[in-house]
């Protein structure tokens, strides 16, 4: 993978590591746990695809085994619920029960070419009966995660009955998987769930988004940069930005605008700051408790009003 994709994968892995190290704040949010499982397995699949592209095979076998385990764990969870439902109705739905009757020992004996096909049948059965499976703890997000697990496992193996997939296609699959993990699992789900608990779980919230912000902390600096204008869009010179580090309440950094209204770029330590903007004959403006993530360099666009 190229450097940009490497940085994105670093961020995904950092989010996983942070979530695993801090499970308590989201323990009661089932959707977070299900989505985190998807992200973890996507990360494994990305590593396998990258190994195929680069010709690096070390660790791929163990990673594929982990993907298979995750997939069959979902199969056991969903299949057991469907089997119980099929036997609870009158008359018993023998066909439905038989289609999902795969205990762990039976799943383990299936070949690598067949196991995902069987899991796909179990997933379809769960999806088709989702409305009656809630009492057994089977929800739409779980069935969706099951589908992702199947796809990840299927992409990690080469099936004899399929045409050989070229490195180029594996590279395309990897790129799509990286992007979808960020756009769907992180941005649309996990980011929103963490935002919903910002007030009661502020430390977790800030730590999570700090992890989300890590792209390549080894080569990128966290920066304050921006510009100041009046309400008519005219640049303002000599506006001073003062950044106060909330960790110790010390004034840590200052920056002043030039004749184009642009603040001098300042490298800052990641963390939370109160930013106060002042200038002669101007009303003071502020951004309170602003979080600088590692590697971030957002442009702060400030509108100042004359006194």
Residues 173, 241 within the same domain: no
**pLDDT at position 162 over 50:** no
Q: Quick check: is 166 in a domain?
A: yes
Q: Which of 178, 213, 248 is the last residue of a domain?
A: 213
pLDDT in tens, 61-96: 667 888 899 999 999 999 999 999 999 999 999 999
Long-range own/partner contacts, residues 193-201 (CB < 8 A, 24 or more apart)? 193/26, 193/29, 193/31, 193/32, 193/35, 194/26, 194/32, 197/25, 197/26, 197/29, 201/25, 201/26
pLDDT tens sequence across 87-113? 999 999 999 999 999 999 999 999 988
Co-location of 148 and 281 in the same domain: no
Domain of residue 189: give its range.
Answer: 3-213
pLDDT for residue 217 is more than 70? no
Q: Residue 164: its pLDDT value, please? A: 47
* Residues across the chain: 307
Look at the alpha carbons of 170, 176, 179, 180 in this order and tell me if their dihedral is positive or negative.
negative
How many structural domains are present in the chain?
A: 2
246-269 pLDDT per residue, tens: 877 777 889 999 999 999 888 888
What is the structure's pLDDT at 161? 44
- pLDDT on residue 193: 95
Residue finishing a domain among 148, 178, 213: 213
* Cα gap 73→223, rounded to integer Å: 44
What is the pLDDT at residue 113?
A: 86
> 7-31, pLDDT tens digit by residue?
888 889 889 989 998 999 999 999 9
What are the residues whose beta carbons fall under 8 Å from the beta carbon of 100, sequence distance 6 or more? Answer: 78, 79, 82, 83, 86, 121, 122, 125, 126
Q: Is residue 218 part of a domain?
A: no
| Position 47 confidence tier, pLDDT thresholds 50, 70, 90 | confident
CATH number reported for the structural domain that contains residue 272 in this entry: 2.60.40.1120
Q: How confident is the model over 121-156, as pLDDT tens digits?
A: 999 999 999 999 988 889 998 998 899 899 888 877
- Average pLDDT value over all residues in the chain: 87
Model pLDDT for residues 220-256, shown as the tens digit of each residue:
567 899 999 999 999 999 999 999 988 777 778 899 9
Q: Are residues 182 and 269 in the same domain?
A: no
Q: Are residues 242 and 203 in the same domain?
A: no
pLDDT of residue 172: 86
Report the distance separating Cα 216 and Cα 7, nearest Å: 5
């Amino acid at each position: 993978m190229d450097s940009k994709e490497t940085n994105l994968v670093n961020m995904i892995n950092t989010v996983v590591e942070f979530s695993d190290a801090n499970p308590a704040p989201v323990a009661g949010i089932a959707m977070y746990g299900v989505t985190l499982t998807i992200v973890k397995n996507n990360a494994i699949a990305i590593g396998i695809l990258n190994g195929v592209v680069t010709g690096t095979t070390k660790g791929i076998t163990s990673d594929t085994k982990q993907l298979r385990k995750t997939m069959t764990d979902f199969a056991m969870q969903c299949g057991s619920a469907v089997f119980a439902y099929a036997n609870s109705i009158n008359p018993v739905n023998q066909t439905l029960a038989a289609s999902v009757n795969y205990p762990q020992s039976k799943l383990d004996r299936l070949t690598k070419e067949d196991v995902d096909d069987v899991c796909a049948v179990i997933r379809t059965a769960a999806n088709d009966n989702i409305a009656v499976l809630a009492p057994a703890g089977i929800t739409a997000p779980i069935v969706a995660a099951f589908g992702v697990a199947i796809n990840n496992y299927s992409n990690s193996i080469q099936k004899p009955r399929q045409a050989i997939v070229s490195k180029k296609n594996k590279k395309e699959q990897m790129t799509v998987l990286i992007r979808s993990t960020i756009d769907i699992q992180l941005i649309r789900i996990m980011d929103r769930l963490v935002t919903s608990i910002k007030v009661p779980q502020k430390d977790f919230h800030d730590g999570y988004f700090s992890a989300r912000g890590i792209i390549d902390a080894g080569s990128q600096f966290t920066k304050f940069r921006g510009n100041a204008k009046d309400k008519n869009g005219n640049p303002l010179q000599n506006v001073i930005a003062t950044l106060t580090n909330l960790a110790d309440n010390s004034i840590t950094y200052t920056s002043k605008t030039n004749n184009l209204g642009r603040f001098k770029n300042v490298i800052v330590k990641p963390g939370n700051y109160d930013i106060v903007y002042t200038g002669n004959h101007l009303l003071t403006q502020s951004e309170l408790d602003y979080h600088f993530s590692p590697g971030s360099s957002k442009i702060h666009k400030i509108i100042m009003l004359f006194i």
